[in-house]
Amino acid sequence: MTPVLKTVLLRLGLGVVTLFLVTLLVFFAVNLMPGDFATEILGQEAAPETVAAFQRELGLDRPAMQRYVHWIGGAMQGDLGTSFAGAGSGTTRTVTSLVGPRLVNTLFLATATAVIAVPLSLLLGIFAALYRNSLYDRFVNLVSLTTVSVPEFFIAYILLLLLAIKFPIFYALANVSPDMPLAERLTRCALPILTLVLAIVAHMMRMTRAAIINLLASPYVQTARLKGVGPRRLIFHHVLPNAWAPIATVVALTLAYLVVGVVVVEVVFNYPGIGRLIVDSVTSRDIPVVQACALIFAVIYISLNLLADTVSIVTNPRLLHPR
């Protein structure tokens, strides 16, 4: 077994262990939420016998560890349980049927944002590194620092005020449906996409700039300059091939943040994604849906972190050695 494959398999094993610990944390944290679903549905004046019977119907009367084993065993088989939303009325729905369409919407929003933000941040970072300390570099750094310092919800409300109320260019609410054409869907999602782009471009641009500047100071780059290598060839043939590891790590971590960190943006623009679903489910004490959404967020985040780690190892074999 090659050292690279051995290290990658070790990282995957650590990822599985981390995911297992996260499932424990998610399950017991969700079950520690204040309030009780049965009392929430039946009301505070419901008889204790009625509440107990309702809890028995939902399986909430079983020990926590038994419920955890049942939940994680079903999740490993693709069964995330049944939503509590229609409990007692005969209209229950599976968690998968509720989460699936919302997850597709969230992934669409994250993908559209990444398609714009990743190339834009790479270009801005490369030019900022090439023209270091110029007016362009200072302006881009000023704008990026300002954007990083402002919370996402504040950016969302400012864009909502300016581009949807004062100047009605875009839709204020991002209401989308599965049968909506792509052009109309992008139009309705313009403000959420713009908010997320502004939130992540600054961070990615600064990390790209730092990686390029660090490599531009390397001895082999200085040697290439002394040999008369032009700026374009210097960047594309000498700097970028060695900068892919840190840049790929930043991109993967940013994509993980995109999928996991869309909760606030989805709530502000009423976007029907998984972030909005988890907020509504917490409000209604729909425990299976909350657990499923948290588990999906954890799987995506850990997977993209493992991807970033693997890319770094493959592109930079020096990371295989502790020294």
Choose the weakest-confidence range: 31-40, 129-138, 189-198, 281-290: 31-40
Q: Minimum mean pLDDT among 46-50, 114-118, 134-138: which range?
A: 46-50
Task: State residue 86's pLDDT score.
Answer: 60
CA 283 to chain CA centroid, nearest Å: 22
Structure token digits, residue 262: 């869309």
Are the beta carbons of 217 and 283 closer than 8 angstroms?
no
What is the SS3 assignment for 105-131?
HHHHHHHHHHHHHHHHHHHHHHHHHHC
Read off the pTM: 0.81
- Listed by start position, the domains of the chain span 9-91+286-323, 99-283
- What is the predicted pLDDT for the residue at 91? 63
- Give the mean model confidence (pLDDT) for residues 274-281: 86
CA distance 73 to 71: 5
Q: What percent of the chain has pLDDT over 70?
A: 89
Measured distance between the N- and C-terminal CA atoms of the chain, rounded to whole angstroms:
21
Instruction: State residue 64's pLDDT score.
Output: 77
- What homologous superfamily is domain 99-283 in, according to CATH? MetI-like (1.10.3720.10)
Residue 133: band (very low, low, confident or very high) from pLDDT cuts 50, 70, 90 = confident
The confidence score (pLDDT) of residue 301 equals: 84
Checking if the pLDDT of 318 tops 70, the result is no
84-113 residue pLDDT tens: 776 555 567 788 888 888 888 888 888 898
As given in the structure block, the two tokens for residue 251 are 């991109």
Pair 277, 102: CB distance under 8 Å:
yes
Q: Using CA atoms in the order 243, 244, 250, 253, what is the torsion angle rounded to 10 degrees?
A: -160
Bigger pLDDT: 50 or 162? 162
d(CA 122, CA 120): 5
Q: Which CA distances in Å does 123 have to 118, 145, 164, 234, 235?
A: 9, 17, 29, 15, 12
More confident residue, 309 or 182: 182
The pLDDT mean for the chain works out to 81
Backbone CA torsion sign across 64, 70, 76, 79: negative
Task: Supply the pLDDT for residue 90.
Answer: 55
